[in-house]
Amino acid sequence: MEAIDNIDDIRTKVRSLKKQEKSVAFVPTMGALHEGHLSLFRLAQQHADEVVVSIYVNPEQFGPDEDFDEYPRELENDLAKCEEEGIAAVFAPSDTLMYPGEQLLSIHIDELNKYMDGGSRPGFFEGILLIVNKLFNIIGPDIAVFGQKDIQQFRILQQMVKEFNHDIELIMGPIQRANDGLALSSRNAYLDDQQRKLAPGLYRSLQYVAKQIKEGAQNVELLLDHQKDELQAKGFKIDYVNLFSFEKVAPVTDPKGNNKYILGGAVYLGETRLIDNIIIEK
Ligand code: PAF
């Protein structure tokens, strides 16, 4: 496996794979790799001949009060995991390579980022579109794989690929969970023992609401309010727990048949922000 930190070499590598008529799947990550990432690598391997991974903690997608400095960085460890998974190449660039000098252009998002994480984290998805555009243009993969845990990210990237004509097929990998249901996340490392015990409560709440909605519950708002109260009583601070349309990522109170919805939640345990979601197809 090659670990590459410059643009020319990763381009040469991908071109040489393509010259050998190999299809290339790309999995962008911010490192601190866990089973969730590894499941995306394996999914990518099912869809392409070779897989390229990027490891880069993108400063543009962190707000001024967010955890950019604390975000776990474990490059050596991550490279060993990639090697073990049979990854063809890892692109691990520096900040100066990704953002050389002043960035005079940015990407504006008109819709799809008003609610969920976009509503709570101004500039978050603009930062993601910026880096994913750069990475797509550098790597030039046939396929790119992202996780369902960041479902709004997936939906916005889907729109970006469509509107900006990236010739890349996007694939979404399912959420990987610990035995008690907690969605795997690099940020779970911030939880202390007590918080870690509470953490799966978010998924349990979402599961309960999803079941009720699928069984035809009418008053979704009331159902959500009850769950939020219960979560708060357990010690969660709620950012949002709500039902959203998949297409527009906008709140929905009366889910109808033949539609796709996201039941999503973001909560804090102490300083740690946890997100999770369930896709509901009615
Ligand atoms: O999902 C992530 O880890 C990041 O948002 C991504 C796609 C690697 C962009 O920095």
Q: Is 260 in contact with 242 (CB distance < 8 Å)?
A: no
Q: Please, how many CA atoms are within 13 Å of residue 24, restricted to the half-sphere of its CB?
A: 24
Q: Cα–Cα distance between 37 and 44 in angstroms, integer?
A: 11
Q: What is the pLDDT of residue 35?
A: 97
Smallest CA separation from ligand 1 atom 3, residue:
29
Query: What is the set of domains in the chain, with CATH numbers?
Result: 2-173 (3.40.50.620), 186-277 (3.30.1300.10)
Nearest 10 degrees: Cα torsion 47, 51, 56, 61: -10
Q: What is the pLDDT of residue 21?
A: 98
Q: Cα–Cα distance between 19 and 262 in angstroms, integer?
A: 40
For residue 103, the CA-to-ligand 1 centroid distance in Å is: 19
- pTM for the whole structure: 0.97
Q: Report helix, strand or coil for 43.
A: helix
Which ranges of the chain would DSSP assign to H, the alpha helix?
A: 7-19, 35-47, 75-84, 95-98, 116-120, 124-139, 151-163, 193-198, 201-214, 220-234
Listed as ranges, residues in the chain with pLDDT below 70 are none
Position in ligand 1 atom list of the atom nearest CA 61: 10
The residue whose CB lies within 8 Å of the most ligand 1 atoms, and thus the one to mutate among 38, 132, 172, is: 132
Smallest CA separation from ligand 1 atom 2, residue:
29
pLDDT tens per residue across span 118-168 = 999 999 999 999 999 999 999 999 999 999 999 999 999 999 999 999 999
Q: Report helix, strand or coil for 260.
A: strand
Determine the distance from the C-alpha atom of residue 119 to the mean position of all C-alpha atoms in its chain, rounded to a whole number.
Answer: 16
For residue 90, the CA-to-ligand 1 centroid distance in Å is: 15
Q: Is 201 annotated as a binding residue?
A: no
Q: What is the pLDDT of residue 97?
A: 98
Name residues contacting ligand 1 (CB within 6 A): 28-30, 58, 61, 128, 131-132, 150, 153
Longest dimension (CA), the chain: 59
Angle at 145 between CA 139 and CA 147, to 5 degrees: 135
Q: What is the pLDDT of residue 172?
A: 98
The residues near 249 (Cβ < 8 Å, ≥ 6 apart) are: 111, 112, 113, 114, 115, 116, 118, 152, 155, 156, 262
Q: What is the pLDDT of residue 140?
A: 98
Q: What is the pLDDT of residue 218?
A: 85
Write b or e for each residue in 178-216: b if 16 or more Cβ atoms lie within 10 A of its Cβ, otherwise e: eeebbbbbbbbebbeeebbebbbbbbebbeebbebbeee
Q: What is the pLDDT of residue 77?
A: 98
Q: Cα–Cα distance between 35 and 149 in angstroms, integer?
A: 13
For residue 262, the CA-to-ligand 1 centroid distance in Å is: 20
37 is catalytic: yes
Q: Is 30 annotated as a binding residue?
A: yes
Please report the DSSP string for 20-40 in residue order: TT--EEEEEE-S---HHHHHH
Q: Please, how many CA atoms are within 13 Å of residue 98, restricted to the half-sphere of its CB?
A: 23
